[in-house]
Structure 1
């Protein structure tokens, strides 16, 4: 069996979330409340649950952080992109998922989380019509702008690592096409030729994240990373 060495989770961890709506702001608020000791991280496997290690007399139950290196909640810094300019506090209030008693104790922290301009194409999410959007001529320009956003965020907040999470709306379906999605060269060529039919904005986020060495998590049923080029 191949042995993988997991590096220590040192320094700050930047979590950049695509979309600053109900899902993102509930996630952010929960982390901010938990690290202040104002709520318990119920539902979080890594923070609350334990897992059995060993058998028989050697059996014991440990938290995930005692088995693999994980960032502490205090080390997390949040960033986001969204088509609307409202900060995370305003977005959380508007979403109406949480009550005021959940949001107000971390109001200042949430207000400091202001969305960067989104890489957006309304044809892929017709119900959204915000104006906090990048002015990009091509999909490749989207990629370059997003790469710069990640670089700037990492530098400004002194992050050792960054992970990008998609928590935005589900895009229209983009079927796998062997002529555009099979190889990395094909995908890059499609981006540079501004192929809006075969390259969704989410693919630009994923490509930008991966080329910057950031894990990318797709939180919607988009085709985004389900193509050989991304693999």
Structure 2
């Protein structure tokens, strides 16, 4: 396809935590054993280089919306010019936060501009600021978080105005990934799902953020919506998210599926999913960056629906079954390979 080589990528970012990146990686290793010592030593020069391109924003909560967006836009420009980059892709990887208050002004760019200018923080969240700043600076935008904003009409209008692609929401790395792979099996075999209960345990910063009921609303909604879409009916389904600090960067999902087969005989399936959050997410982010860059080079704009398989809440896509979503990406890739 001609995707960018990973070795050609240059990394920077914005962070409210003022702890150096090397310390964060060391802490991750100490708690979760994600990387071995040999790899840690190998990446030290790269980590030091990235550190110089991280905009530290410990005072982000004290900035007005216009000031925060100005800081973000300036950081993108400095990063682009400092490395003489052809393109910059912005990926939102922050923890889940409270949802913005609903407003009809979210649906038009003029309305969003007015909310920002008047510093209406109850309507404009940090994630919405990142999307706005990225598109204003000519950067494709990926929302890997459950935080709302990308689906607002104002962002779609801005992407159209700037001729840029964007996509989200909420990276699919664990329990929902398994759900969207398994649920089509029940449908294909005409096994009626009566109940599907899931318990999620997380120990990292995302888990801590999701421990707040206000922060978990969008995440729970994204997790709960997939079954009805795939099965064609809504079984009894519950999803819970619990913070377990000792797990560190590892997450566990326990799921119980109660289903009905031939002659209405009830049966059950259970699974346990244990995975390392960062290791599950990192390769997806790298591929999303390369695919967004490819889309921009091809002059594509608006929703990148071919990326639906990466997300719990794929924008502009009703299909939630993972196999069909993967077909969408493969068809897109094959189309461009054949075109050359």
Report the Cα offset of residue 134 of structure 1. Answer: 4.4
2:35 to 86, 98, 102: 98
2:125 to 197, 200, 209: 200
- Per the alignment, residue 4 of structure 1 pairs with none
More helix by share: 2
CA RMSD in angstroms comes to 1.7
Tell me, in whole angstroms, the C-alpha distance in 2 between the residues paired with 1:169 and 1:146. 18
Assess if the C-alpha contact under 8 Å between 2:99 and 2:125 holds in 1. no
Report 1 or 2 for greater relative contact order, CA contacts < 8 Å, sequence distance ≥ 6. 1
Tell me, in whole angstroms, the C-alpha distance in 1 between the residues paired with 2:118 and 2:151. 21
Normalising by structure 1, we get a TM-score of 0.61
Tell me, in whole angstroms, the C-alpha distance in 2 between the residues paired with 1:105 and 1:137. 37
Report the Cα offset of residue 73 of structure 1. Answer: 1.6
- Give the 3-state SS of the residue equivalent to 2:13 in structure 1: strand
5 Å matches for 1:96-135? 96=29, 97-114=34-51, 115-118=54-57, 132-134=58-60
Report the Cα offset of residue 229 of structure 1. Answer: 0.6
Normalising by structure 2, we get a TM-score of 0.42
- Give the 3-state SS of the residue equivalent to 2:89 in structure 1: strand
1:167 aligns with 2:100: no
Report the Cα offset of residue 175 of structure 1. Answer: 4.9
- Per the alignment, residue 15 of structure 2 pairs with 82
Tell me, in whole angstroms, the C-alpha distance in 2 between the residues paired with 1:78 and 1:109. 9
Report the Cα offset of residue 222 of structure 1. Answer: 0.7
Tell me, in whole angstroms, the C-alpha distance in 1 between the residues paired with 2:86 and 2:136. 16
Cα deviation, 1:14-63, whole Å, max 9, x if unaligned, reads xxxxxxxxxxxxxxxxxxxxxxxxxxxxxxxxxxxxxxxxxxxxxxxxxx
- Per the alignment, residue 125 of structure 1 pairs with none
- Give the 3-state SS of the residue equivalent to 1:173 in structure 2: coil
Structure 1: which 5+ residue stretches go unaligned?
Answer: 1-66, 119-131
Report the Cα offset of residue 153 of structure 1. Answer: 0.6
Assess if the C-alpha contact under 8 Å between 1:87 and 1:111 holds in 2. no
Tell me, in whole angstroms, the C-alpha distance in 2 between the residues paired with 1:189 and 1:137. 17
Assess if the C-alpha contact under 8 Å between 2:11 and 2:50 holds in 1. yes
Cα deviation, 1:180-213, whole Å, max 9, x if unaligned, reads 2010011011011000100001111110101111
Report the Cα offset of residue 94 of structure 1. Answer: 1.4
- Per the alignment, residue 220 of structure 1 pairs with 145
- Give the 3-state SS of the residue equivalent to 1:112 in structure 2: helix
